[in-house]
Structures are given as structure tokens and as C-alpha cells.
């Protein structure tokens, strides 16, 4: 029988305060140990300590306070943002990546004819507002991919500045400041209500643009915090079904690290090698690596290649006799995710 949500929150809070007491009593030793092992704990989504931390982050005010602290630190370390913006414009539509926090991206989408804009995942309202003022446009809507504070934290702040602005997202994900529910691409796995937004550029003779949040990154995918491999596979297949020329605008700047991991999985992948060289040039100048395309991702992103025989051989995984093809691919995805989590812990 599933435990009630109030009990889970209470247990997580009680555990936190117990850990806080230990921290106060043995502060110096805990700081040393914490720096060594915190990243290892957070890399293991199945472990009790991680589940406690994740519950506190997503269900209590402690998560919001942590997000505010991270935002202040990022503003100090990256006063001009972690990456230089490279706007893309085609036939009346302008897309501006806004670097926020330490590696996140928000995206400002502008209709240049009407000077109206929408923003995707405004984690830092100050940075988004600065971009709006620089472009001289009015914010009409916020598109939120999921509830995590590093994507939704600026919703209410922008709503206060732009009273008529609507906040769109999934009703399932309990997004802060949500005012409107929209029908778009439902892609659970990272969170239970994760959504992605597809801008149809065909009406203006431009490629479509996918704003993927934490579902898909350049050569990577999000962690399965609130879903299993089968659920995540279905969501990734939604992305894989899009046209190859669709532009991919992910929620984080993880390109270099993701491509290094992909090299361990498929060291002979020439497409990955070429992309990695390009990414090194971009990051050497602190330039944004977005967008890639869905067609490119199918060539070197291992998380979109669970059907690939080359990847199966590289992982040493074979389909068992009478094993369902979809379940086999989910097993491949699960193995990839485990290896990526271990890679992150190094």
C-alpha cells in the first residue's frame, strides 16, 4: 500500500532535522566528509538518502531556499552568464538562449512583428527581465517544462512583473504559479509531469524547434527521478519521431561532458568525434552549444540509440529469446543511465 504524501513529507523533514542536529554537533568533520561524498549520494537515485534529499527539494520550502542560494552564487560567479548568447532568427521568429544559474538555459521566443514574447523555463527572473527589456518586447506567456526549481523558480517573479502573463505547464507536476494547462508533448520520466514544447516553424518556412527541458540534452538525457526506463523510453521515442531537421534547445549546457561519456560507450562513433571537436571550440569561447538537431542526436546520442545493434555490442547486451523488443530497449536504456550515473560520480 502506498504511503500518504503527508507522511512522506513528514518523514523527509524529520530526517532532515536529525541530519541537521548531527551537522551542528560535528560541523567540521561533516563538512569534510560531505564534500567528498555528497555528489556520490546524489548520483544514486535509488538510495534512501537521495530520496530524502529529493523529497525535500521538490516538496518543501527547503528546495526553494536551496534554489535561491544557487541563484545568488551563480550571479556572483557568472555576472554575464555562463555562456554567450547566440540568437537565431528566421522569418519573423527570434530565439534567444539566456544562460542562467551555473549551466541552465532559458529561451526567449519572440514574434518580431508584434514584439510579443514567450519564455521557456525562466529559472532566473532577473536575467529574463533584462533580456525582455533589451529586446523591447512584452512577455505574454511562460512555458514551463517541469517543476524543478532550476526551471520553474522564476515563474512567480515574472508573473508579478507581467500581470497578464500566463504560465503554461502540466497540471500533474505542481508547477509554481501555474495558470494554464496546455496540450503539448507529455514526456514523463524525469518528473511525473514533464512536458516538452514544439514550435512549428513550417508556417514561416523555418525548421521546427523543440524545447526539451531535462528530457533530452545534446548527447544526453535527464535522470529518471520519477519514472522507470520504460516510461523514459516512451518519452525519448516521442523525440525520436520528430523530423531530423528539428532544432533541439535543451535545458542545460552539458554537451562536453555528455560527449565524453558517449565516447566511452561508442568510441568508434565518427559523428560523435566530429561533434566533440566542434563543442570544444564553442566552449573554449564560452559559447552556447544549442541548438543541435534531432538528426544529429540520432547519430551520436546513445540515449536515442537504444535500437542500435552497434550500441548493443558496445554495451555487451543481447536480446534474450522471446524478450519483447521494447522491454529490451528499456533494459538498454537502464544500463546506459546506470553507467552515466557512475560516470558522473568520478
151 has catalytic annotation: yes
Among the listed residues 124, 146, 173, 194, the single catalytic one is 146
Which residues fall within 8 angstroms of residue 309, CB to CB, at 6 or more apart?
Answer: none
Among the listed residues 194, 214, 257, 312, the single catalytic one is 214
Among the listed residues 162, 194, 252, 312, the single catalytic one is 252
Burial-class residue 124 by CB neighbours within 10 Å (0-12, 13-18, 19+).
Answer: buried
214 has catalytic annotation: yes
Describe the strand order of the beta sheet including 116-120 as a list of residue ranges.
Answer: 88-90, 93-100, 104-111, 116-120, 138-143, 166-169, 180-181
**Cell numbers representing residue 156 in the block:** 512567480
252 has catalytic annotation: yes
Which residues fall within 8 angstroms of residue 152, CB to CB, at 6 or more apart?
Answer: 121, 123, 144, 146, 169, 175, 176, 177
Strand 93-100, strand 88-90: pairing? antiparallel
Alpha-carbon distance of 169 to 181, in angstroms, equals 6
Count CA within 13 A, CB hemisphere, residue 141. 13
CA 7, 13, 16, 17 torsion-angle sign: negative
190 has catalytic annotation: yes
Rounded to 10 degrees, the C-alpha dihedral 332/215/217/159 comes to: -170
**Cell numbers representing residue 283 in the block:** 566552449
150 has catalytic annotation: yes
Alpha-carbon distance of 323 to 315, in angstroms, equals 17
**Helix (H/G/I), strand (E/B), else coil: 249:** strand
Among the listed residues 121, 124, 150, 257, the single catalytic one is 150
Among the listed residues 148, 162, 194, 312, the single catalytic one is 148
Among the listed residues 162, 190, 194, 312, the single catalytic one is 190
Among the listed residues 121, 151, 194, 312, the single catalytic one is 151
**Helix (H/G/I), strand (E/B), else coil: 175:** coil
Asked whether the beta carbons of 83 and 253 are under 8 A apart, the reply is: yes
Could you list the active site residues?
Answer: 146, 148, 150-151, 190, 214, 252
Amino acid at each position: 500500500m502506498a504511503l500518504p504524501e503527508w507522511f512522506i513529507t513528514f518523514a523527509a523533514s524529520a530526517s532532515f532535522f536529525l541530519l541537521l542536529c548531527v551537522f551542528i554537533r560535528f560541523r567540521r568533520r561533516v563538512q569534510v566528509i560531505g564534500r567528498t561524498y555528497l555528489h556520490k549520494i546524489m548520483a544514486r537515485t535509488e538510495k534512501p538518502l537521495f530520496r530524502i534529499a529529493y523529497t525535500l527539494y521538490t516538496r518543501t520550502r527547503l528546495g526553494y531556499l536551496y534554489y535561491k542560494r544557487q541563484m545568488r552564487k551563480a550571479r556572483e560567479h557568472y555576472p554575464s552568464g555562463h555562456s554567450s548568447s547566440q540568437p537565431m532568427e528566421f522569418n519573423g521568429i527570434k530565439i534567444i538562449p539566456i544562460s542562467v544559474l551555473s549551466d541552465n538555459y532559458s529561451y526567449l521566443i519572440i514574434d518580431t512583428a508584434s514584439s510579443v514574447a514567450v519564455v521557456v523555463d525562466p529559472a532566473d527572473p532577473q536575467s529574463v527581465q533584462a533580456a525582455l527589456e533589451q529586446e523591447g518586447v512584452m512577455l505574454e506567456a511562460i512555458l514551463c517544462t517541469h517543476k524543478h526549481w532550476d526551471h520553474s523558480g522564476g515563474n512567480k517573479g515574472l508573473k508579478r512583473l507581467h500581470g497578464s502573463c500566463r504560465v503554461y505547464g502540466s497540471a500533474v507536476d505542481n508547477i509554481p504559479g501555474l495558470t494554464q494547462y496546455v496540450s503539448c508533448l507529455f514526456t514523463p520520466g524525469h518528473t511525473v509531469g514533464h512536458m516538452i514544447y514544439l514550435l512549428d516553424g513550417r508556417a514561416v518556412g523555418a525548421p521546427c524547434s523543440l524545447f526539451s527541458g531535462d528530457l533530452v540534452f545534446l548527447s544526453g538525457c535527464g535522470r529518471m527521478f520519477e519514472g522507470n526506463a520504460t516510461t523514459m523510453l516512451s518519452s525519448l521515442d516521442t523525440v525520436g519521431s520528430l523530423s531530423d531537421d528539428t532544432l533541439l534547445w535543451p535545458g542545460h549546457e552539458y554537451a562536453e561532458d555528455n560527449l565524453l561519456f558517449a565516447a566511452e560507450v561508442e568510441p568508434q562513433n565518427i559523428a560523435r568525434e566530429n561533434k566533440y571537436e566542434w563543442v570544444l571550440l564553442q566552449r573554449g569561447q564560452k559559447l552556447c552549444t544549442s541548438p543541435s538537431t534531432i538528426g544529429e542526436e540520432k547519430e551520436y546520442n546513445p540515449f536515442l540509440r537504444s535500437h542500435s545493434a552497434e550500441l548493443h555490442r558496445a554495451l555487451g547486451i543481447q536480446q534474450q529469446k522471446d524478450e519483447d523488443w521494447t522491454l529490451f530497449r528499456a533494459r538498454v536504456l537502464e544500463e546506459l543511465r546506470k553507467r552515466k550515473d557512475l560516470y558522473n560520480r568520478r
